[in-house]
Amino acid sequence: RLRPLNRLQVILQHLRMSKHTDSTAEVLLEKKGCAGVITLNRPKALNAINISMIRQIYPQIKTWEQDPETCLIIIKGTGEKAFCAGGDVRAIRDAGKLGDRLAQDFFKEEYALNNAVGTCKKPYVALIDGITMGGGVGVSVHGHFRVATEKTLFAMPETAIGKYCLFPDVGGGYFLPRLSGRIGYYLALTGSRLKGRDVLKAGIATHFVDSEKLPALEKDLTGLKSPSTENIADLLNSYHEKSKADQDKPFVLDEHMEKINSLFSGDTVEEIVKKLKQDGSAFANEQLETLNKMSPTSLKLTLRQLREGASMSLQEVLRMEYRLSQACMRGTDFYEGVRAVLIDRDQAPRWKPAALEEVSDEFVDNCFKPLGNDDLKL
C-alpha cells in the first residue's frame, strides 16, 4: 500500500501528465527524443478530428516550432484502421442546423491548422497508415513528408454520396490541381480512392514504407541528433528503398490516364459530363454513373475551386474554401448528404437543385464572394 503522502504525489504527477499522455485523451502530444509527436487517438471514430483536438494540436505545433530542442514533428494515428478518416461531420451538421458558432469556428480553426502544417518551420512527417480522408489529408498533405504504407486508403470523398455534400476542402484546392495531368480533378469530382503505393505514385505521398516497419522508423526519427531536413529525408529514403510491397505493380490509373486527362479537362461540369457521354467507354460510363449521384451544387463548387486554386497560394486557397464552407452551411445539400449517409443511412439524398443546369453561375459566384469581417484571417 502507498503511504498517504506518496499516494498524493503519484496522483498529482498523474494529473500533470494526463493532459498529454492519458491513453483516453483524444489526442496525445508527447516529446520523444528530438521530435514532437502528435497521436490522433480516437480509434473507434477512425481518428476523426473534432474541434477540441484542433485546439490542442494547433498551439502545440506553434510551440514546438519555436523550441530549439524540437527538431521535427511527427503525426500519426492509433488503431489498425485509420490515420484519420476526416472531420467530425455529424457535430458540424448539428451545429449548423442550430445556427451554432461551431459551424464557423470548426472550419476557421481547422483551416488555420492546415496552414500551420503547410508553413511549419520544422520538418513535419505524417505517417499516413490506414484510412486518410478529408480532414486527415489536411493535417498531412501540406507537410514536408508523407509516408504511405500498404494499408493507406486515400480519398477526398466530400462530393461523393459515400460521404456527404461539401467540396474537397482542407487545402484540396491547392494540392489537387497541382497533381500531374488531371488526376486531381478526377479524384476531387468522383471521390475516387487510391490505395497503398498508388498514393505515392499519384504524388500525394513522398515515401512508401511497410506498415510493420513504422515503429522502427519512428524510433530512428526520434533518435536523430539535431537533424536537418536532409538527414530526415535520407532516413526516410533508406526505409523507402527497402520496401518491396507492390513495387512492380503499375499505377492503378496508368491505363486510364489518357482518358482522365482528356475527359476531365472541361471548363464546366456540363462539359465534362458531355465528354463522358460522348466517349462511351466502360471507364467513362462508370464515372458518369458516379457523377450522377453527386450533389450538382457540390460538383460545380468543386470544379471552380480547383480551377481557381491552381494559381493561388495555400493561404488564398484556405480563405476561398472558408467562404465555400459557409455557403454550404447556408445551403441544404450538406445537411441532406449527412442525413442520407450518417443519420437515416438510406443512401438516397434529395439534392436541391437536383440538376446541374439548375445551379446558376450567379449562385456559384455568390458562394465565392468575400465575407468582409467574417473572412478567414491567417
Is-catalytic flag, 169? Answer: yes
| 96 has catalytic annotation | no
Catalytic residue among 118, 130, 134, 135: 135
Q: What amino acid occupies position 88?
A: D
- Cell 481547422 -> residue: 110
234 is an active site residue: no
Query: How many whole angstroms separate alpha carbon 192 and alpha carbon 182?
Result: 13
Q: Are 291 and 161 in contact (CB under 8 A)?
A: no
Lookup: cell for 289? 454513373
| Contact present, 128 and 152 (Cβ < 8 Å) | yes
Question: Among 169, 218, 321, 336, which one carries the catalytic annotation?
Answer: 169
CA distance 264 to 184: 10
Whether cis (ω within 30° of 0) applies to the bond prior to 296 is no
Q: In what order do the strands lie in the sheet with 194-195?
A: 82-84, 131-133, 153-155, 194-195
Angle CA 244–249–254, to nearest 5: 140
Q: Which of 88, 129, 158, 198 is catalytic?
A: 158
Q: Is 321 a catalytic residue?
A: no
Question: What is the C-alpha separation between 242 and 165, in angstroms, rounded?
Answer: 41
Beta-carbon contacts of residue 373 (< 8 Å; ≥ 6 apart): none
Helix (H, G, I), strand (E, B) or coil at 147: strand
Catalytic residues: 87, 135, 158, 169
